[in-house]
């Protein structure tokens, strides 16, 4: 992380300046040479309503291969423009979004052509639900790093939150109790991170990795000793779907945004609250001041250490909710290493999103879509083996951070311990 932070702060070399453009062109060529050439003959069909919907929307059909060729040409064209024409900051972001949209649409056309029609509503629902732990983990990282503390321990916070939520909900028969317990478990990992990083000035990168390994070993041990020997501690109970009356009946957007578990609505609230608090409140101004220049913040009476303690613990509480989703919000029961690297992907989403809640949201949705497609594609177009498709979220993470993120700057004091003079 220290090396990454130094890299993103460094002046752009010619190679770094053109890396995004080359990535655009490569993605465009994949759209053409892979998705277009390998697409089945015929049209790709997309359903835009559920079988139970009261309002049916006609199936959309498009010629698969020609659409892939056209979208690939658009991506290549954006890459050539990026090489030859200076882009403003807004233009760079719009270009990234455009290339990603071209890639995703080409992928869907390739997957659907000549096979069973893809239901866009179901895929979108899956994308949002798969993104919940990523979004909450990225928000936890945003709270920490905006105050100047690197949070590599998101993985451990998710994992401990998942374990605690499952065992508490099973033992006491209360899903809401499990949710609160999962959040508190993530907060406990946050307390450990805060104490050692802020008070004892431990290297934050090493500390985060150690906490992840500690939680992994501890949950594996407790799973073997408690859950495996007593199934009553891992019963698999989950929250059901919660429809919002009226809104859930709106065609297309209703089933996607307003017919899900309570975790998605909590995620909505967390995004709005953290975005507004960080950038439109006095508290957020103080947090960002501590993350950028703690010495200057201290001279005007801001308690740097208190701000950091509070944010790191709050981040742990948020990540714990994301961990609870992995069990009582999804599959119900806990299995060892259920987080499966989601914490590291959330950290990548934070960087790709430029340390902002809304930016991290967009990146998390991208990775969540890749996770959902890894589950869907083997059932509708089993060209690639399932283990290869399971690599998709991690490959997308590498491509996004290494090839698309471009020049980003973390908070200036991120990772730097503060000692009051």
Select from 40, 95, 29 the least CA-distant residue to 64.
40
List of residues 6+ apart from 300 with CB closer than 8 A: none
CB 327 within 8 Å of CB 316: no
In the predicted structure, residue 114 carries a pLDDT above the cut 70: no
pLDDT in tens, 231-283: 899 998 999 889 998 888 888 899 999 999 999 999 999 999 999 999 999 99
110 falls in which pLDDT band (50, 70, 90)? Answer: confident
Angle at 397 between CA 394 and CA 400, to 5 degrees: 150
Tokens 């311990």 correspond to: 417
| Cα distance between residue 64 and residue 41, in whole Å | 7
How far apart are the C-alpha atoms of 400 and 173, rounded to whole Å? 41
Checking if the pLDDT of 5 tops 70, the result is no
CATH of 124-367, picked from 1.10.10, 1.10.3470, 2.40.70, 3.40.630, is: 1.10.3470
For range 212-238, the mean pLDDT: 93
Tell me, what's the pLDDT at 170?
Answer: 93
Pairing, β 242-243 against β 259-260: antiparallel
Q: Where are the domains of the chain?
A: 124-367
What mean pLDDT comes out for the span 188-200?
97
Measuring CA to CA, how many Å separate 392 from each of 167, 297, 331, 371, 399?
31, 43, 21, 7, 10
- What string of H, E and C letters represents the secondary structure of the chain? CHHHHHHHHCCCCHHHHHHHHHHHHHHHHHHHHHHHHHCCCCEEEEECCCCCCCCCCCCEEEEHHHHHHHHHHHHHHHHHHHHHCCCCHHHHHHHHHHHHHHHHHHHHHHHHCCCCCEEHHHHHHHHHHHHHHHHHHHHHHHHHHCCCCCCCCHHHHHHHHHHHHHHHHHHHCCHHHHHHHHHHHHHHHHHHHHHHHHHCCCCHHHHHHHHHHHHHHHHHHHHHHHHCCCHHHCCCCCCCCEECCCHHHCCCHHHHHCEECHHHHHHHHHHHHHHHHHHCCHHHHHHHHHHHCHHHHHHCCCCHHHHHHHHHHHHHHHHHHHHHHHHHHHHCCCCCCCCCCHHHHHHHHHHHCCCCHHHHHHHHHHHHHHHHHHHHHHHHCCCCCHHHHCCHHHHHHHHHHHHHCCCCCCCCCCCCCCCCC
Query: 7 pLDDT band (50/70/90 cuts)?
Result: very low
The pLDDT assigned to 90 comes to 84
CA torsion sign, 385 to 103 to 263 to 189? positive
pLDDT over 90 at 51, yes or no? no
pLDDT digits 0-9 by tens, 402-421? 666 666 788 999 999 998 86
Q: Is the per-residue pLDDT at 6 higher than 50?
A: no
Contact status, residue 403 vs residue 23, Cβ threshold 8 Å = yes
């Amino acid at each position: 992380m220290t090396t990454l932070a130094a890299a993103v702060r460094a002046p752009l070399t010619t190679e770094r300046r053109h890396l995004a453009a080359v990535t655009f062109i490569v993605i465009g060529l994949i759209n053409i040479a892979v998705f277009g050439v390998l697409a089945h003959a015929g049209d790709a069909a997309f359903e835009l309503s559920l079988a139970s919907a009261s309002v049916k929307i006609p199936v959309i059909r498009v010629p698969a291969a020609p659409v892939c060729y056209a979208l690939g040409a658009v991506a290549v064209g954006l890459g050539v423009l990026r090489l030859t024409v200076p882009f403003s900051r807004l233009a760079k972001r719009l270009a990234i979004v455009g290339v990603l949209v071209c890639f995703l649409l080409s992928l869907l056309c390739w997957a659907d052509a000549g096979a069973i029609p893809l239901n866009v509503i179901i895929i979108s629902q899956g994308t949002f639900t798969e993104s919940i732990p990523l979004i909450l983990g990225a928000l936890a990282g945003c709270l920490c790093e905006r105050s100047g503390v690197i949070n590599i321990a998101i993985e451990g916070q998710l994992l401990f939150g998942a374990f605690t939520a499952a065992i508490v909900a099973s033992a006491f028969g209360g899903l809401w109790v499990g949710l609160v317990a999962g959040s508190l478990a993530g907060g406990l990992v946050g307390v450990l991170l805060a104490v050692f990083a802020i008070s004892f000035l431990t290297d934050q990168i090493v500390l985060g990795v150690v906490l992840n390994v500690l939680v992994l070993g501890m949950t594996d041990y407790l799973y073997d000793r408690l859950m495996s020997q007593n199934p009553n501690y891992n019963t698999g109970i989950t929250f059901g779907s919660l429809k919002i009356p009226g809104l859930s009946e709106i065609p297309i957007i209703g089933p996607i945004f307003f017919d899900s578990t309570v975790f998605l609505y909590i995620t909505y609230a967390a995004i709005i609250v953290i975005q507004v608090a960080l950038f439109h409140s006095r508290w957020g101004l103080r947090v960002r001041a501590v993350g950028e220049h703690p010495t200057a913040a201290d001279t005007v009476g801001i308690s740097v250490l208190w701000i950091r303690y509070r944010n790191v613990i709050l981040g742990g509480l948020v990540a714990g909710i994301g961990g609870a989703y992995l069990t009582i919000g999804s599959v119900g029961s806990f299995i060892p290493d259920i987080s499966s690297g989601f914490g590291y992907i959330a950290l990548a989403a934070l960087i790709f999103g430029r340390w902002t809640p809304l930016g991290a949201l967009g990146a998390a949705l991208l990775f969540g879509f890749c996770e959902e497609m890894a589950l869907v594609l083997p059932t509708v177009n089993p060209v690639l083996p399932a283990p290869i498709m399971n690599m998709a979220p991690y490959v997308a993470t590498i491509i996004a951070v290494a090839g698309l993120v471009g020049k980003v700057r973390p908070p200036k004091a991120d990772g730097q311990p503060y000692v009051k003079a």
